[in-house]
Amino acid sequence: MDRRIGMAKVTPIVPEDLPPGSPVGQLPPQDWMRAAATRAVVAALTAEGAEVRFVGGCVRDALLHRPIRDIDIATRDTPDRVTALLRQAGIRAIPTGIAHGTVTAVIGTAHFEITTLRSDVETFGRHARVEFTDDWTVDAARRDFTINALSCRPDGMIFDPFDGLADLGAGRVRFVGNAMRRIEEDVLRLLRYFRFYAHYGRPPADVDALAACRAQAHKLSGLSGERLRAEVMKLLQAPDPAGVLLLMQGHHVLRHLLPEARDFGRLRVLAFLEMRGLVRPGLGPDILRRLAAVLGADAREAAGVARRLRLSRAETDRLLSLAAPPEMPDADMDERAARRLLHRIGAAGFRDLTLLAWARRKATGDRMPAAEGQRWIDLLDRADAWRPVRLPVHGRDLLDLGIPGGPRIGLFLADMERWWEDGDYRASRAEALAHLRTLVALYRAGEQQ
């Protein structure tokens, strides 16, 4: 989290004493603003004179030169009017959350969330009764953090009612208004706080925010599994997820979210290897590998985490295979042992476990001999070069030899697999068939006794 943030050059507006609600600067033209789909949506929404602004993540990320994920747009027009304007322009409009004022415009693969300016007049847990407004500052005030309350007109003019620009530059993640109250209104904001801190913050974290999170962490159990999943995944994607999890632990928040997390050192080293320590094609942050890194090697616990985070069947299987594997790669492992493990778990699993085992080793703090790093890299190279091999005999060969179909076939094949493995997967089909015949003959001889 100690990284420098390079901000986009914003042309400031002088003079100093601007009337409230004036723009504070201008963002240079952005590709995503000039893209045909964005221009078409903006043109549709402004066709009859309405003012629209980009809001939320796209403005924040453009200022940091980070890639834009989705584009949120705000307007004074009601959702019905937004829908009509889009349809008039031939743009597909989906009523995603009419009660909260959200319509999604779809052009090809591009999605735009268009939200009517609003204030949350009454909140109950995660739900709010909303009232539409024509005041941009009122809309900004219901947003969670100052860096998320920035907005920008299609001509690049930036509006910053809560000093989000300065906070963004300084790595300060601050609630708009009173942290305690904002979390009371919506406990999801507690997780969003740590998530945004993980991606945009620099230490020290905001004292008021931390105190409010600590005081209300027990309410996290009220969040749905889907919400937990989404937030934990985004949190784990951060450059240094271990640092943030430790911060959450220090403030008694983690016990309400991921009490099973314990190997922070391994997670930290793994994230370092993924992000900076190793430069390999295809290697980057991997959420499930990171989750496995921070859990203890306890299959039941890992299965519990998978259930709580609503992981899919495939995700659960992968998490379990990484968190509690029957066998781990080792820097001292000889070629043959490596091949055997590669054959059993495949190249992807082998790569994951090599990274996890290496991270574990580095995290223990023992001094590692200089050559050991190279041995771990050799294991990764071996996984990259691995081509899957298949047993050169099949069930059909056993049927041809007169063994009736049924469980006996599987037993023979398992024996063959072991023999093949002992021979380091070198046997040709002819050699394998010869051995199979011997096994069958031995079996028959045994049967006759």
56 binds ligand ATP (CB under 6 A): yes
Q: Are 158 and 190 in contact (CB under 8 A)?
A: no
Residue (of 384, 383, 380, 387) closest to 274 by Cα position = 380
* Full strand arrangement of the beta sheet holding 71-75: 11-12, 25-26, 157-159, 151-152, 52-55, 71-75, 110-116, 102-107, 92-97
The answer to the question of residue 57 lying near ligand ATP (CB under 6 A) is yes
Residue type, 401: L
What one-character DSSP code corresponds to residue 368? P
* 148 binds ligand ATP, rule: CB under 6 A: yes
Q: Does 341 bind ligand ATP (CB under 6 A)?
A: no
Residue number with CB closer to Mg ion (57 or 79): 57
Element (H, E) at 341: helix 335-363
Q: Distance of CA 257 to CAs 182, 188, 194, 261, 308, Å? A: 19, 12, 12, 9, 10
Instruction: Give the one entry of Mg ion, ligand ATP, none that residue 186 binds, where binding means its C-beta sits below a cut-off of 5 to 8 angstroms depending on kind.
Output: ligand ATP
51 binds, among ligand ATP, Mg ion, none (CB under 5 to 8 A by kind): none
Region binding ligand ATP by CB under 6 A among candidate stretches 186-194, 204-212, 288-296, 427-435: 186-194
* Alpha-carbon distances, residue 401 vs 211, 390, 393 (angstroms): 74, 20, 12
57 interacts with Mg ion by CB under 5 A: yes
Q: Is 62 in the site for Mg ion (CB under 5 A)?
A: no
Query: Which of 32, 98, 103, 45 lies closest to 71, judged by CA?
Result: 32
Is 186 among the residues that bind ligand ATP (CB under 6 A)?
yes
When asked if residue 164 is in the footprint of ligand ATP (CB under 6 A), the reply is no
In whole angstroms, give the CA distance from residue 309 to residue 51: 40
72 binds ligand ATP (CB under 6 A): yes
Q: Which is nearer to ligand ATP, 189 or 351 (CB)?
A: 189
What mask, x for binding Mg ion by CB under 5 A, covers residues 67 to 86? ---x----------------
d(CA 402, CA 404): 6
Q: How far is the CB of 147 from ligand ATP (least distance, A)?
A: 8
Cβ(151)–Cβ(76) below 8 Å? no
Sequence-ordered list of residues with C-beta below 8 angstroms from that of 335, at least 6 positions apart, any chain = 382
Q: Is 124 in the site for ligand ATP (CB under 6 A)?
A: no
Options 52-60, 116-124, 171-179, 235-243: segment touching Mg ion (CB under 5 A): 52-60
354 forms part of the interface with ligand ATP (CB under 6 A):
no
Stretch that binds Mg ion, among 51-59, 154-162, 300-308, 332-340 (CB under 5 A): 51-59
Residues that bind ligand ATP (CB under 6 A): 56-57, 69-70, 72, 143-144, 148, 186, 188-189, 192
Residues that bind Mg ion (CB under 5 A): 57, 70
